[in-house]
Amino acid sequence: MVIGFDAKRLFHNKSGLGAYSRSLVKFLVSHYPDNTYHLFTPPYIKNKSTEFFEKNDKVLIYIIPRPFWLWRSVLLPFLTKGFELSVFHGLSGELPWVLFPRKVKSVVTIHDVIFESHPEFYSFWNRWFYKIKTLRSIKNADEIIAISRFTKSQVLEYFNSQKEIQIVSPPLNELYAAHKTRHLKESEFKALYNLRNGYFLHVGSIGGRKNTDVLLKAFANVPHKRKKKLVFISNESFENVYATAKKYDVEDWIRVEKGVDDKTLSLYYSFCSVLVYPSIIEGFGLPILEGIAHGARVICSDTLAHREAGGEMPVYFDSSDYKELSTLLSSLSYHERKSEKAALSHLNTFNPSIICGELMRIYAQK
């Protein structure tokens, strides 16, 4: 089978959709090496996260010519005519506006439609653009995938699609699940990163619907004797985080890390006192799942998507209640960690071999 992917996010997005795209394609290549994989992307800067795709002889990277937006959104079906594609998969909720030839199956993965359910977090023009893009992709897709039951319910609610929507969850990075990366002991890691007294961990984007203000307000209310460093790992700008932290007089307790690789992130997950994920709404919540895979104590806001990602393992709180979150931060790090064995049945749902098998079934079905 010859499979093409819209790989813009894979090469250009360092977290979120980019992490999802890299993991998914990497697992497909590894589990189904008899296929050929074409990745279509605007020009990008090579880095460690792209090495696997550049060095694998089953992966062909095609740089989209200028103007990039026109080729990616309109002309891509013409560009791929000579590639004999069996499937084209839009990994980030988007397909070209022009239809592929009938012999090419079009698949789109929709991560969320939060721009519809929570428009306050988006500008008018972004809402308009995302809505048009989603409508067009649903219309053009032969197969629609949602990353969670929650996302599927929202697509049905806001877009009234008559097509079948299949749920394929994000795969859990095997690097995390198997703890293959623990090249430092806990004491060595904490000494190296000056975190000897422990730390609270937040992974992912910041601000807005990520509820950073409530997190920092809750953190400010943790009693001094129970305070630990609060480490943010994200590839976004942290000016607003520092400004808010200064407002609550906790800026000296904040650590921000950018450009963290998978091995180091795995260590952060493994040794944190608590992983906290307070987002108001998500399509899924992958850091929750990754934290569970490391045996971390997890606190997250009580949303339907987070309960899909976390199951019974996290402690959930009302996303608007900073006092409840503060109480949990003050106490949970002193509780016993839940055993890895208790999480295995939940984690197995997100096993890459199962996820890839589901995708191949969708690619192959008539």
Assigned token pair, 361:
């079934």
pLDDT band at 340 (very low <50, low <70, confident <90, very high): low
**166 pLDDT higher than 90:** yes
**44 pLDDT higher than 70:** yes
Please tell me the class of the 2-171+351-364 domain: alpha beta
Q: What is the mean pLDDT of residues 316-343?
A: 84
pTM of the shown model: 0.91
pLDDT in tens, 167-204: 999 998 766 655 555 668 889 999 999 999 999 999 98
Q: What is the mean pLDDT of residues 223-245?
A: 86
pLDDT band at 342 (very low <50, low <70, confident <90, very high): low
Q: Which amino acid is at 173?
A: N
Q: For a pLDDT cut of 90, what percent of the chain falls above it?
A: 68
pLDDT band at 332 (very low <50, low <70, confident <90, very high): confident
Same fold, 2-171+351-364 and 174-348: yes
Residue 299 has a pLDDT of 96
Residue 48 has a pLDDT of 86
Question: Is it true that domain 174-348 has CATH number 3.40.50.2000?
Answer: yes
Residue 244 has a pLDDT of 85
Mean pLDDT of all residues belonging to the chain: 91
The span from the CA of 79 to the CA of 57, in Å, is: 21
Please give, one letter per residue, the 3-state secondary structure of the chain: CEEEEECHHHHHCCCCHHHHHHHHHHHHHHHCCCCEEEEEECCCCCCHHHHHHHHCCCEEEEECCCCHHHHHHHHHHHHCHHHCCCEEEECCCCCCCCCCCCCCEEEEEECCCHHHHCHHHCCHHHHHHHHHHHHHHHHHCCEEEECCHHHHHHHHHHHCCCCCEEECCCCCCHHHHCCCCCCCCHHHHHHHCCCCCCEEEEECCCCHHHCHHHHHHHHHCCCHHHCCEEEEECCCCCHHHHHHHHHCCCHHHEEEECCCCHHHHHHHHHHCCEEEECCCCCCCCHHHHHHHHCCCCEEEECCHHHHHHHCCCCEEECCCCHHHHHHHHHHHCCCCCCCHHHHHHHHHCCCHHHHHHHHHHHHHCC
pLDDT in tens, 74-89: 899 988 888 999 999 9
Q: Could you state, in order of their start, the residue ranges of all structural domains in the chain?
A: 2-171+351-364, 174-348
